[in-house]
């Protein structure tokens, strides 16, 4: 290992260095992180109590899912007041304390910005439905079309994207749950109100925004019908709509550019080309989340299905995004979040090789350029949970889908849909954080709002403090990024695009004259059998920086154990 300090050894000019490129982000889902008052629901004082766990991982930034006042139909993505804290989570004073404590530990705090829609309980919607002249145009209202909804668009959660409101005697658009009406971004007053709210939070000292479904703000004029055969009917009329870039540029000009912050857009159906527009050199945002690698285990295009996935496809997606954003833009790297099932249960082996596959997947995410986002519990190798009956599901999306599947007449009972719904439900990511082996995994003294995963006695933070845990390995991965610029700023080269079981890639950092400054090689066996790698590069003089098997020196063997990951520094 070299011990030259980063500032002198690297060829990355200061002008290209940015703290958010060098950061690892940790995502906290407040409802499920830690409960301080025994009501079974996570809260802000609970997060403060557990901040040291997060700081000890070595992460730099926390992204907090929505903590604003909300009826919690969609766990806070249905906001009824943008400027107050949800009462079950604490008070504004608690939140201010959290911010101070995060900063005290040299970390930063990124808040969730949910401005495609509000809750129906938001005052704006209440006034809009009553026809208050100031607010009547704040949402997207339309008359019925031959007694039905104004067009054929669907909600992402299923069913029509329109709901009839008796008070106003008209339909309103909701791309998500019917309790989440879409704001009308064509109305300048809406934009101004949102920008004002953003400034209000930034003035409190936050360090950025994660922007919820932000590329859906602009809807095609006239709201034309969508292709009835599309996976999400209507999406071509509201994904990356006509004024989308204008809205974000205005947001940047009027708000974002005044602050040194991290901005990341969550963008359904995002392409590399669009990512370059939104988050390229002059783009309004810093980076964006795309979804392509989260669909590998669909059967075809259908979300509510489970299919086989293949490694060459994952590598193809990875390469395309690295190459596409190499000279323009920046990648956001993630496996999990509050909407995705646990990655070990998807692309790893949660039974026999939980530790090995969790660490291998962590290696893939944390040894490439981009900003990595670790979701709470991912650093423990948490797995999907068991869902035995429809009532045990809490997620509005999974519940609705279950209802629809059962109503379709194709299935007779929950058992028949349990495999798919249980695998795909967002509840898998939302089971309480596992702190120790006491009741409810130390998450609460009361009854948790969602049951704890049955494996909490083995998989928890306390037990991960000992031995070669997934958590300790994540810590090492994060340390590697801090120590070596190549993992952050290097260029990515896939050495084995077509291999079915192995991934082998380098991250290379060059001096301006082309000489190699740092070159890292990662070799990962994504399978449960021993695999021999033919790496087209010499390992002579290489240093083994990290492995999830007990190897303390460079091993001459090119055999890789099941789910083995090795990270080398090449000469």
Nearest to ligand GLC of 178, 266 (CB atom): 266
Q: Is 20 in the site for ligand GLC (CB under 6 A)?
A: no
Q: Is 161 in the site for ligand GLC (CB under 6 A)?
A: no
- State yes or no: is 104 an active-site residue: no
Q: Is 304 in the site for ligand GLC (CB under 6 A)?
A: no
- State yes or no: is 266 an active-site residue: yes
Q: Is 25 in the site for ligand GLC (CB under 6 A)?
A: no
Q: Is 141 in the site for ligand GLC (CB under 6 A)?
A: no
Q: Is 178 in the site for ligand GLC (CB under 6 A)?
A: no
* Shortest spacing between CB 430 and ligand GLC, in angstroms: 10
Sort strands 491-494 and 68-69 into parallel, antiparallel or unpaired.
Answer: unpaired
CA angle 366, 18, 378 (to 5 degrees): 25
CA angle 316, 322, 325 (to 5 degrees): 130
Q: Which of 43, 212, 485, 561 is catalytic?
A: 212
Residue with tokens 């999907």: 384
Query: What are 569's two structure tokens?
Result: 């520094």
Q: Is 185 in the site for ligand GLC (CB under 6 A)?
A: no
Among 20, 26, 77, 138, binds ligand GLC (CB under 6 A): 77
Q: Is 114 in the site for ligand GLC (CB under 6 A)?
A: yes
**134/156 Cα distance (integer angstroms):** 29
b/e 338-375 (16+ beta carbons within 10 angstroms → b): bbbbbbbbbbbbbeebbbbbbbbbbbbbbbbbbbbbbb
Among 33, 95, 176, 321, binds ligand GLC (CB under 6 A): 176
Residue with tokens 């990355």: 12
Task: Say how many CA atoms lie within 13 Å of 399 toward its Cβ.
Answer: 10
DSSP-assigned beta bridge partners for residue 569: 520, 543
Q: Do 303 and 424 touch, CB atoms closer than 8 A?
A: yes
Tell me the number of residues near ligand GLC by CB under 6 A.
9
* Shortest spacing between CB 407 and ligand GLC, in angstroms: 22
Task: Please provide the distance, in angstroms rounded to a whole number, between the alpha carbons at the two ends of the chain.
Answer: 11
Among 328, 339, 445, 493, binds ligand GLC (CB under 6 A): 339
Query: What are 201's two structure tokens?
Result: 């939070």
Q: What are phi and psi of 51, to 5 degrees?
A: -60, -30
* Shortest spacing between CB 172 and ligand GLC, in angstroms: 16
Q: Is 69 in the site for ligand GLC (CB under 6 A)?
A: no
Q: Which of 154, 266, 379, 494 is catalytic?
A: 266
Q: Is 121 in the site for ligand GLC (CB under 6 A)?
A: no
* Shortest spacing between CB 124 and ligand GLC, in angstroms: 16
Among 182, 212, 356, 564, binds ligand GLC (CB under 6 A): 212
User: Which residues are marked as active site?
Assistant: 212, 266
- Give me the residues that bind ligand GLC (CB under 6 A), please: 74, 77, 114, 176, 212-213, 266, 338-339
């Amino acid at each position: 290992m070299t011990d030259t300090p980063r500032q002198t050894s690297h060829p990355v000019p200061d002008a290209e260095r940015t703290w958010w490129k060098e950061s690892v982000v940790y995502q906290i889902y407040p409802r499920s992180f830690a409960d301080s008052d025994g009501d079974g629901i996570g809260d802000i004082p609970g997060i403060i109590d557990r901040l040291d766990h997060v700081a000890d991982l070595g992460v730099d930034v926390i992204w907090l899912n929505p903590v604003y006042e909300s009826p919690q139909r969609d766990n806070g993505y249905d906001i009824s007041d943008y400027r107050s804290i949800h009462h079950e989570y604490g008070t504004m004073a608690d939140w201010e304390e959290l911010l101070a404590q995060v900063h005290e530990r040299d970390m930063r705090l990124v808040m969730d910005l949910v401005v495609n829609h509000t809750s129906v309980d938001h005052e704006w919607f209440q006034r809009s439905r009553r026809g208050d002249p100031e607010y009547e145009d704040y949402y997207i209202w339309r008359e019925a079309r031959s007694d039905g909804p104004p067009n054929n668009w669907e909600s992402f959660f299923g069913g029509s994207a329109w709901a009839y409101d008796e008070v106003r005697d008209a339909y309103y658009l909701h791309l998500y749950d019917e309790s989440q009406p879409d704001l009308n971004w064509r109305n300048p007053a809406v934009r101004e109100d949102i920008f004002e709210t953003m400034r209000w939070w930034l003035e409190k000292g936050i360090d950025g925004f994660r922007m919820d479904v932000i590329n859906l703000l602009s809807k095609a004029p006239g709201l034309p019908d969508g292709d009835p055969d599309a996976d999400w009917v209507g999406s071509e009329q509201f994904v990356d709509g006509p004024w989308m870039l204008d809205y974000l540029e205005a947001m940047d000009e009027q708000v974002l550019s005044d602050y040194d912050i991290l901005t990341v857009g969550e963008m359904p159906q995002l392409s590399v080309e669009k990512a370059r527009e939104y988050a390229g050199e002059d783009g309004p945002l810093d980076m964006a989340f795309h979804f392509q690698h989260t669909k590998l285990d669909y059967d075809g295009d259908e979300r509510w299905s489970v299919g086989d996935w293949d490694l060459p496809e994952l590598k193809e997606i990875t390469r395309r995004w690295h190459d596409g954003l190499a000279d323009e833009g920046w990648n956001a790297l993630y496996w999990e979040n509050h909407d995705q099932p646990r990655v070990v249960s998807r692309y790893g082996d949660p039974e026999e090789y939980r530790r090995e596959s969790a660490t291998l997947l962590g290696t893939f995410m944390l040894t490439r350029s981009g900003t990595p986002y670790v979701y709470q519990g991912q650093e423990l190798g948490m797995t999907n949970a068991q869902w035995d009956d429809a009532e045990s599901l809490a997620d509005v999306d999974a519940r609705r889908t279950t209802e629809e599947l059962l109503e379709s007449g194709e299935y007779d009972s929950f058992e028949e849909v349990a495999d798919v719904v249980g695998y795909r439900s967002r509840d898998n990511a939302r089971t309480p954080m596992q702190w120790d082996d006491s009741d409810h995994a130390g998450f609460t003294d009361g009854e948790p709002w969602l049951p704890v995963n049955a494996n909490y006695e083995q998989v928890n933070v306390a037990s991960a403090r000992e031995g070669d845990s997934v958590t300790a390995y994540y810590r090492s991965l994060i340390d590697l990024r801090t120590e070596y610029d190549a993992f952050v700023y290097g260029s990515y080269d896939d050495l084995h695009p077509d291999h079915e079981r192995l991934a082998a890639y380098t991250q290379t950092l060059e001096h301006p004259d082309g000489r190699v400054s740092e070159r890292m090689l990662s070799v990962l066996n994504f399978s449960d059998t021993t695999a021999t790698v033919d790496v087209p590069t010499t390992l002579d003089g290489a240093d083994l920086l990290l492995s999830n098997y007990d190897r303390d020196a460079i091993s001459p063997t090119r055999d890789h154990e099941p789910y083995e990951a090795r990270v080398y520094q090449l000469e």
